[in-house]
Amino acid sequence: MPYLEVSDLHLYYETVRGIVRAVDGVEFMLEKGEALGLVGESGCGKSSTANALLRLLPKNYIEYRGHIILGRHDLMNLSDDEFREQIRWKRISMIFQGAMNSLNPVLRVGFQVAEPLMIHRNLNKEEALRKASELFKLVGLPSELVDRYPHELSGGMKQRVVISMALVLNPELIILDEPTSALDVSIQAQIMNLLKTLKNELGITMVFITHDIALASDLSDKVAVMYAGQIVELGFIEDVLHKPLHPYSQKLVASVPLLKGNKKPEFIPGAPPDLVAPPHGCRFAPRCPFIKEKCMVDPPSSHLVGGGYVKCWLYE
Amino acid sequence: MSLFLREALREFWRGSLSKLGVIFLSIVIIVSFYTTTTMPLDYGTRFWSNPVFWVNNPKAAPPEWVNTFVSPKLLEHKVLSTSLPASVDAVEGSILKRYSVSYKLGVEQFPQFFNLEVSNLTYHEAPPTLILSILKPDGYSIDLYTFIVERPFENESIPFIRYTLEPKRVLLSGEVQVARALSNFISARYGELLSPSQIIDIGYEQIIFGERSALKSFTPLKGTYTLTLTLASRNPNDNIGSCRFILGGQVYGLMGTDLLGRDLFSGLLFGFPVALLIGFATSVITTALGAGLGIMSGYIGGRIDDLIQRFSDIVNNFPQLPLLIFLTFIFGGKLWVIVLVLVAFGWPGLTIIVRSMVLSVKGAPFVESALAVGASRLRIMGRHIFPQVAPFILSQLIFYTPSAILSEAALSFLGLGDPTIPTWGQILEYGFRNGAVYLGYWWWILPPGLLIIYSAITFVFIAMGLEPVVNPRLRRWR
Amino acid sequence: MGLGKTLAVRGLTLIAVLFCVLLLTVAVIGATGVSDRILNAMLNERLRGIRQVLSTQITDPDELNRAIEAIEDDLIHSYGLDQPWYVRMPSMLARIIILDLGNARTIQTFTGSRLVSDIILERLPNTILIMITVLIINFLVGLIIGVKSATRPGSLLDRFISIYSSISYAIPTWWLGLLMILVFSFYFRLFPFGGMFSAPPPTELIPRLLDLIWHAAMPIITLVIALSGSWIYITRSVVITTAQEDFVTVARAKGLSERLVMWRYIIRVAAPPILTNLMLGLAAYLGGAILTETVFSWPGMGLLYYHAIVSIDEALILALTYIFTLIYVISRFLLEVFYVILDPRVRYG
């Protein structure tokens, strides 16, 4: 029984240019303790999917439907207040893109980590701060840093604070939206190691969003390749990396520069489609090298042996 | 460069505020242009501050168009003139030339005053006599005032011409003769005795233009009056060039008058170019100084930077108005003093901002490459750094203008301005000091203030319209 | 700590401001001969007093005159009038700081003293009363309306605020006061024409208080209308910008109630820049106080300025310039204290 089951997830919002179909029928499944890498180009809807999972809807949304089943409850059935009290941070937490700005500049970092404890678990301030400093140790920060302000910490330290903040209520699922994209490479490696350790030791289910498929492979068990608001391929990381099925995934994998060998990285011609008016039929068709007449119709998701699927006429 | 300009203009034009601002500004410029071409530059000292020029206007009178809204209607101001005698008689060797006008009093109000002006009088023999008389609608006639023209000078030859540069003005309310004449009239007409001093207490106009309702009170007598100036002389060639009979009304002009009778419309008109001048002069100099120092400070750095920074930080923290008051008080409220003082306190704000902008531009690659090529510091500052900060400087220039106008108005209001030049603040100062507010002289209080607001808003709108151009983050998306 | 050091630096700058202003005023009055006149006037007053006292002791007029002349020479020397103005700048500075400037030309306090220092100290509380009331009202109004407007961008309130702010910048405060008097005092007869109390003022506490409020209402309302515009607009802009920050989304994701998010993550973070803008606008409050008091004949220091200008009272103007600068520097410093408390980022480590 999959622990997290997302199906038929849609999130549209209205702009002056039209209706943006940011999340257009996303589905995936995760077992407990698994990590899913959600990979794709900028603007393909990864962050919107993350927000949709936490019901962080923009003010101008006009459609939000689907099923998010976490451990047997469909979260869609909850009211907004129930969602806020029961789910947010307690069962699902999130690490946002850009740790620089995820922390309130006028509050001490320890307090910000301790805050959910005071609100959701009714702990008093000293107890909560004590827990916070324990968490700091867990993520590799000296516990004296609880009294510091965000501007006194380096980028890597801030990201660790953000991670500990996400862990504070022992959530079942953590969504990580590009947790390392604002950091330089050496810090990136440290943070990735930390995340791997936490995953293994604490058994947290993760959804890891990134545009870097190589980075995703470091942490994820499964990977979902997203394009124009839809998942075009979902499978185990080794399968997708070594034998990508969807033409887009193939291009994506091929674009990663390799340390060894002489193979030049490829690029994908064209630009991602406008989410306001996605093309009819297969959305990747205009850029696909294998385009056929059939591709005028939107392909169904063909389920594969290993439990994943691919959305392409080549496999129908 | 021109592409940038075109795009900038398009972006500027997009907002409705910008359009409004440009329209307003055009109006201001057109009016200022009209004023400077039709009114003399020394209008302030020659006319505005010269009470004689306004002596024939009603005092503190609301504008004429008020009459379209009120009833009963207020008395109109009348200036009746004539150049030709209505009749010429010869009586016992004297020639009597009568210059007459008719005046219709149609409302139940007394004229504020009755003045006479005689210009270009020529005589050939003995000095003639001038008699001012009035024929009332009830048939009675009063000889109000008589005077003899001045004798010829020693070396003067015939013909003797008088009252050419300045007309002979007779303000009846100031002449005791009239009181005596009226006293005689009263006793002849009503058989009662009123001494001249009592006449003065009642007021001439009440007796001249009224009929008696009680011993000492008169009600206005409506009807047509004939006002006659008789020239009695020996020589039939003696004549008057023109004479004017001024009957002070209760309303006057487009914008009314102030306590001195000054036509507020021309005063307000003159305020346009002055406001524009002060606004632009101040903002241009302030911007040039502030931006120049900012660029120097930011680019050259080092000790000069420290010095300029400290200095501008301190001056920026000066309390403006008290110091403005102090300095204009000590040095006098001349226009250029005000401009200088405003500049002296205005430049640091711009310097500080421009300096930080320059600091961020300084490290740009194109600056480095210019340095590598061997460009001089001046050249880099002028050709490379300045264009980057120019849009912002321009918007600040526009933004400083209204504050200069407002500051000058405030200083004038406090009595520190230039009293010879009619600015809007000056007009309000005179009004406030003489209690126009407490007397309800709205036509004196409202228009100058509205004009100040109007001119300030013009620049605010334009500055707001320029904001998206200089600050790309605020640009409107299509 | 960091807090103390930051404040010390800001405090020093403000003291430098005060000092520079004083230096400027002293130099100006020295170079234009005004200080000579002021000191001469003070000297002559003292001489007069001394002459009165001495004439009761010495009856011989010649001896009296000789004694007076000797004292006069001493006084001239002690006042520094026998030296050029730049030499006696320090003593002039000290004199201004403690308001030892002699008598005003025509103005008196209610108790009959003509000393400049007495007059100023008598009027000072009246000005402070108005300024503080206006500041508090503006702060509350700005906060409430600014936040309301920010949470509803594009609404009717929001658009009204934008128009109102840009217009209120262009409206001269003093003219607004004139307008208010014209409308509410002259036409509607709702409020008095000016002054602080009716004549004669009520003697019992409650009626006196009510009378005061009735008289203070219009000046305060005028200042609030004129000065709140930009304040509301800035609050609104800062709140909108802050509300778009990532940490606000994080706060919501953490399950915090909307109210808590608003207070702790938006307003609390927006407070420092809003406060900065308040600091920048403080000069406008001072200017507004001066002009409004003049219009409403409110017996504070602003009206004193006006009277001093009309009666060409140099000593009074000098003293007023100093006091106003002092008030300004003190209020700036207080605001800086608030700012450093609110924003940990500016404390030097």
Residue B327 forms contact with C (CB below 8 Å): yes
Q: What average pLDDT does chain A have?
A: 85
Q: What is the CATH number of the domain that holds B294?
A: 1.10.3720.10
Using one digit for the tens of pLDDT, what is the confidence trace for B70-93? 888 888 898 998 988 888 888 888
In chain B, the residue whose alpha carbon lies closest to the alpha carbon of C164 is B457
Domain end call among B217, B247, B277: B247
Nearest to A220 by CA among A240, A190, A201, A202: A240
Do B325 and C309 lie within an 8 Å CB cutoff?
yes
- Partners of residue C245 in chain A, C-beta under 8 Å: 101
Q: From residue B291, give the alpha-carbon distance in Å to each of B392, B404, B452, C195, C340.
A: 10, 17, 27, 45, 30
Contacting partners of chain A (3+ CB pairs under 8 A): C
Residue C268 forms contact with A (CB below 8 Å): yes
C-alpha count within 13 angstroms, C-beta hemisphere, residue B59: 10
Q: How far apart are CA C147 and CA C156, in angstroms?
A: 14
The dihedral of CA C230, C231, C233, C234: what is its sign?
positive
CA distance B120 to chain C (A): 43
Residue C84 pLDDT > 60, yes or no?
Answer: yes
The dihedral of CA A199, A202, A206, A210: what is its sign?
negative
Q: Which of B317, B428, B433 to mutate to test the interface with C (most CBs of C within 10 A)?
A: B317
Specify whether the CB–CB gap between A42 and A104 falls below 8 A.
no
In the structure, what pLDDT confidence band is assigned to residue B2 with cuts at 50, 70 and 90?
Answer: low
Helix (H) or strand (E) holding B120: strand B114-123
Residue C274 forms contact with A (CB below 8 Å): no
DSSP-derived secondary structure letter, B478: -
Residue A102 forms contact with C (CB below 8 Å): yes
- Partners of residue C253 in chain A, C-beta under 8 Å: 54, 56, 88-89, 93-94, 96
C-alpha count within 13 angstroms, C-beta hemisphere, residue B102: 7
In the structure, what pLDDT confidence band is assigned to residue B472 with cuts at 50, 70 and 90?
Answer: low
Q: Which of B320, B437, B452 to mutate to test the interface with C (most CBs of C within 10 A)?
A: B437
Residue with the larger pLDDT of the pair B364 and A153: A153
Query: Same structural domain for residues B296 and B321?
Result: yes
Residue A56 forms contact with C (CB below 8 Å): yes
Residues 203-262 of A with CB under 8 A from C: none
Query: Same structural domain for residues B413 and B292?
Result: yes
pLDDT of residue A278: 75
CA distance B316 to chain C (A): 9
Helix (H) or strand (E) holding B144: strand B141-148
Residue C272 forms contact with A (CB below 8 Å): yes
Residue B160 pLDDT > 90, yes or no?
Answer: no
Q: How many residues does chain A have?
A: 316
Using one digit for the tens of pLDDT, what is the confidence trace for B172-212? 888 888 888 888 888 888 888 888 888 888 888 888 898 88
- Partners of residue A84 in chain C, C-beta under 8 Å: 255, 257
- Partners of residue A93 in chain C, C-beta under 8 Å: 253-254
CA distance C243 to chain A (A): 12
CA distance A15 to chain C (A): 15
Query: Strand (E) positions, B1-64?
Result: none
Do C17 and B409 lie within an 8 Å CB cutoff?
no
Residue B475 pLDDT > 50, yes or no?
Answer: no
Kindly list the domain boundaries of chain A, sorted by start residue.
4-91+171-271
Helix (H) or strand (E) holding B452: helix B442-470
pLDDT of residue B476: 39
Listed ranges A180-189, C143-152, C322-331; the one with the highest mean pLDDT: C322-331
Specify whether the CB–CB gap between B233 and B128 falls below 8 A.
yes
Mind spelling out the 3-state secondary structure of B213-238?
CCCCCEEECCEEEEEEEEEEECCCCC
Using one digit for the tens of pLDDT, what is the confidence trace for B45-73? 888 888 888 888 999 999 989 888 888 88
What mean pLDDT comes out for the span B270-282? Answer: 90
Residue with the larger pLDDT of the pair C135 and A274: C135
The fold for domain C116-348 equals MetI-like fold (1.10.3720)
pLDDT of residue C348: 60
In the structure, what pLDDT confidence band is assigned to residue C156 with cuts at 50, 70 and 90?
Answer: confident
CATH annotation of A4-91+171-271: 3.40.50.300
pLDDT of residue B470: 67
CA distance C14 to chain A (A): 26
Helix (H, G, I), strand (E, B) or coil at C331: helix
pTM confidence score: 0.79
Residues 50-109 of B with CB under 8 A from C: none
Using one digit for the tens of pLDDT, what is the confidence trace for B409-433? 998 898 888 888 889 999 999 999 8
What mean pLDDT comes out for the span C77-81? Answer: 80
What mean pLDDT comes out for the span A301-305? Answer: 73
CA distance C343 to chain A (A): 6
Nearest to C289 by CA among C226, C244, C332, C236: C226
Residue A152 forms contact with C (CB below 8 Å): yes
In chain A, the residue whose alpha carbon lies closest to the alpha carbon of C153 is A59
CA distance B275 to chain C (A): 14
Instruction: Identify the domain containing residue B395 by its residue range.
Output: 3-51+263-477
Do C255 and A88 lie within an 8 Å CB cutoff?
yes
Do A88 and C253 lie within an 8 Å CB cutoff?
yes
Residue A21 pLDDT > 70, yes or no?
Answer: yes
Do C291 and B428 lie within an 8 Å CB cutoff?
no
pLDDT of residue B471: 62
DSSP letters, B349-413, are: HHHHHHHHHHHHHHTSHHHHHHHHHT--HHHIIIIIIHHHHHHHHHHHHHHHHHHHHHHHHHHHH
**A122 contact partners, CB below 8 Å, separation of at least 6:** none
Helix (H) or strand (E) holding B246: strand B239-247
Nearest to C20 among B314, B437, B460 (CB): B314
pLDDT of residue B450: 94
Query: Same structural domain for residues B192 and B156?
Result: yes
Q: How far apart are CA A153 and CA A100, in angstroms?
A: 10
pLDDT of residue B477: 35
Kindly list the domain boundaries of chain C, sorted by start residue.
3-97, 116-348
Q: How far apart are CA B389 and CA B394, in angstroms?
A: 9
Do B318 and C325 lie within an 8 Å CB cutoff?
yes
Peptide bond into B448 cis (omega under 30): no
Q: From residue A192, give the alpha-carbon distance in Å to each of A189, A212, A287, B406.
A: 5, 13, 33, 61
In chain C, the residue whose alpha carbon lies closest to the alpha carbon of B439 is C186
CA distance C152 to chain A (A): 11
pLDDT of residue A36: 92
How many residue pairs bridge chain A and chain C with CB atoms within 8 Å of each other?
A: 68
Partners of A63 in beta bridges: A12
Q: How far apart are CA C347 and CA C333, in angstroms?
A: 15
pLDDT of residue C151: 78
Specify whether the CB–CB gap between B95 and B199 falls below 8 A.
no
**A271 contact partners, CB below 8 Å, separation of at least 6:** none
Residue B406 forms contact with C (CB below 8 Å): yes
**C234 contact partners, CB below 8 Å, separation of at least 6:** C142, C146, C274, C277
pLDDT of residue C78: 80
Specify whether the CB–CB gap between B330 and C29 falls below 8 A.
yes
Q: How far apart are CA B70 and CA A180, in angstroms?
A: 77
Residue C268 pLDDT > 60, yes or no?
Answer: yes
Do C182 and B442 lie within an 8 Å CB cutoff?
yes
In the structure encoding, which two tokens stand for residue A78, read together? 């909850």
Residue A118 forms contact with C (CB below 8 Å): no
In chain B, the residue whose alpha carbon lies closest to the alpha carbon of C322 is B322
The dihedral of CA B456, B462, B465, B470: what is its sign?
negative
Residue B406 pLDDT > 80, yes or no?
Answer: yes
Residue B457 forms contact with C (CB below 8 Å): yes
- Partners of residue A85 in chain C, C-beta under 8 Å: 255
Do B406 and C172 lie within an 8 Å CB cutoff?
yes
Q: How far apart are CA B30 and CA B335, in angstroms?
A: 22
pLDDT of residue A290: 83
Q: From residue B325, give the alpha-carbon distance in Å to each of A207, B300, B328.
A: 67, 36, 5
Residue C311 pLDDT > 70, yes or no?
Answer: yes
Do C345 and A105 lie within an 8 Å CB cutoff?
yes
Q: How far apart are CA C235 and CA C267, in angstroms?
A: 9
Q: Strand A205-210 and strand A173-177: pairing? A: parallel
Residue A306 pLDDT > 80, yes or no?
Answer: no
- Partners of residue B327 in chain C, C-beta under 8 Å: 28
Helix (H) or strand (E) holding B136: none
Helix then strand count (H, E) for chain B reads 15, 12
Query: Same structural domain for residues B273 and B131?
Result: no
CA distance B64 to chain C (A): 21
What's the one-letter identity of residue B450?
L
Residue A305 pLDDT > 70, yes or no?
Answer: no
In chain C, the residue whose alpha carbon lies closest to the alpha carbon of B458 is C170
Helix (H, G, I), strand (E, B) or coil at B423: coil
What mean pLDDT comes out for the span C9-14? Answer: 84
In the structure encoding, which two tokens stand for residue B107, read together? 């409302």
Residue C345 forms contact with A (CB below 8 Å): yes
pLDDT of residue A307: 73
Q: How far apart are CA C81 and CA A114, in angstroms?
A: 70
Q: How far apart are CA C221 and CA B449, in angstroms?
A: 18
Mind spelling out the 3-state secondary structure of chain A?
CCCEEEEEEEEEEEECCEEEEEEEEEEEEECCCCEEEEECCCCCCHHHHHHHHCCCCCCCEEEEEEEEEECCEEHHHCCHHHHHHHHECCCEEEECCCHHHCCCCCCCHHHHHHHHHHHHCCCCHHHHHHHHHHHHHHCCCCHHHHHCCHHHCCHHHHHHHHHHHHHCCCCCEEEEECCCCCCCHHHHHHHHHHHHHHHHHHCCEEEEEECCHHHHHHHCCEEEEEECCEEEEEEEHHHHHHCCCCHHHHHHHHCCCCCCCCCCCCCCCCCCCCCCCCCCCCCCHHHCCCCCHHHHCCCCCEECCCCCEECCHHHC
Specify whether the CB–CB gap between B129 and B147 falls below 8 A.
yes
- Total of domains in chain B: 2
Do C328 and B319 lie within an 8 Å CB cutoff?
yes
Residue B478 pLDDT > 50, yes or no?
Answer: no
- Partners of residue C153 in chain B, C-beta under 8 Å: none
Do B325 and C182 lie within an 8 Å CB cutoff?
no
Residue with the larger pLDDT of the pair C46 and B267: B267
Query: Same structural domain for residues B159 and B97?
Result: yes
Helix (H, G, I), strand (E, B) or coil at B168: strand
Residue B443 in domain: yes
Using one digit for the tens of pLDDT, what is the confidence trace for C22-37? 888 888 888 888 878 8
Partners of B210 in beta bridges: B220
Q: How far apart are CA C182 and CA C220, in angstroms?
A: 16
Q: How open is the CA angle A274-A275-A279, to the nearest 5 degrees?
A: 70
Question: Which of A260-274, A276-290, B143-157, C206-220 is least confident?
Answer: A260-274
Q: What average pLDDT does chain C have?
A: 84
Residue C1 pLDDT > 60, yes or no?
Answer: no
Nearest to C286 among B315, B322, B453 (CB): B322
Q: Which of B331, B414, B452, B454 to mutate to test the interface with C (most CBs of C within 10 A)?
A: B414
Q: List strands edge to edge, sheet with A222-227.
A: A92-95, A173-177, A205-210, A35-39, A222-227, A230-236, A309-310, A302-303
Residue C27 forms contact with A (CB below 8 Å): no
Do C309 and B415 lie within an 8 Å CB cutoff?
yes
Q: Give this complex's ipTM.
A: 0.84
Residue B335 pLDDT > 90, yes or no?
Answer: no
pLDDT of residue B1: 52
Do C254 and A98 lie within an 8 Å CB cutoff?
no
Using one digit for the tens of pLDDT, what is the confidence trace for B298-333? 888 788 888 888 888 888 888 888 888 888 888 887
The dihedral of CA B33, B37, B38, B42: what is its sign?
positive
Do A119 and C246 lie within an 8 Å CB cutoff?
no
